[in-house]
Amino acid sequence: MLDCDSLLFSDIVRGLKTRVLGKKEIFHYTEIDSTNARAVAMADQGAPEGTLVVAERQACGRGRRGRTWFSPPADGIYASLILRPSLLPREAPQITFLTAVAAAEAIHDCTQLDVRIKWPNDLLVNGKKFAGILTEIHADRDVLHYAVVGIGINVNTSGFPEEISDRATSLLIETGRRFSRAALLRDYLREEESRLIQLRTKGFAPILARWKELADTIGRSIRVEMTGATCEGWAEDVDPEGVLILRDRKGRCHRILSGDVALL
Ligand code: BTN
């Protein structure tokens, strides 16, 4: 059992094996509205790549598609990183895919759980979601100024509000064990940095290939809820831009940029 598990600067940096991520500055908050919101404000003021914002609790954790992220005190990892990669704005989804791979591998290494990715970037164990990623960018037409990549991981969370309890889980619920959030965060930062270096030196293809190995969406019958529409069919592939290719029952191909997938 872990008696004292905190995400203070000293807990995170002890044994942190990165060169940039978490090595510049770490901002730790006991309570904050959203670590992403804070990191975006810092990036706008010129904060360097690798700046990390973590919180013990978020009052308004931001989720995808305008949702909120359940962020109870001291149970989860709520962390946002400022990145300044040399990518075009249209390549920004690569960062979210890369982060899903990095987080899935770090969490597998720590827990031995069979972590799967559901398009676009939900992390699942036994079909239930325990982590999510939200990337927010600031870009002009041809220039990506920065990306803030936020991750929420339900680590030692023992229960969820009724509206999400049928589809949410935590590492504690899946294993019966409590995990050190600082150790998990360090492993995630190490994997994230090594995938960022891979992206810079070898491009996106090997990362997408690994993403597909970890994904549980491709080659399955799915339903996708989009804003104002629903589409059912066969998930054929994810293209190099992260777009989901779905073939419906009439054989028509759909390119889906954003939505919520349910496996049928
Ligand atoms: C999703 O909806 O799946 C994405 C959830 C992302 C939540 C994390 S928690 C840390 C960071 N700060 C936020 O406000 N959101 C992200």
For the chain, state the CA radius of gyration.
18
pTM exceeds cut of 0.85: yes
Q: Sort 241 into a burial class: Cβ within 10 Å, 0-12 / 13-18 / 19+.
A: middle
Pocket of ligand 1 (CB under 6 A): 34-36, 58, 61-64, 67, 69, 78-80, 122, 132-134, 150-152
| Residue where the block lists tokens 């094996």 | 17
Instruction: Report the nearest-CA residue for atom 15 of ligand 1.
Output: 62
**Dist. CA 52 → ligand 1 center (Å):** 14
Exposure letters 69-80 (e unless 16+ CB within 10 A, then b): bbbbeebbbbbb
Indicate which atom in ligand 1 lies nearest the CA of residue 71. Answer: 9
Average pLDDT by stretches of 10, the chain with 264 residues: 67 91 93 98 97 97 94 95 96 96 98 96 96 97 96 97 96 97 96 98 96 94 93 95 94 93 91
**SS3 state at 107:** helix
If one counts every other C-beta atom within 10 angstroms of the C-beta of residue 59, the result is 11
**Dist. CA 150 → ligand 1 center (Å):** 5
DSSP string, 208-264: HHHHHHHBSSTTSEEEEEETTEEEEEEEEEE-TTSPEEEE-TTS-EEEE-S-EEEE-
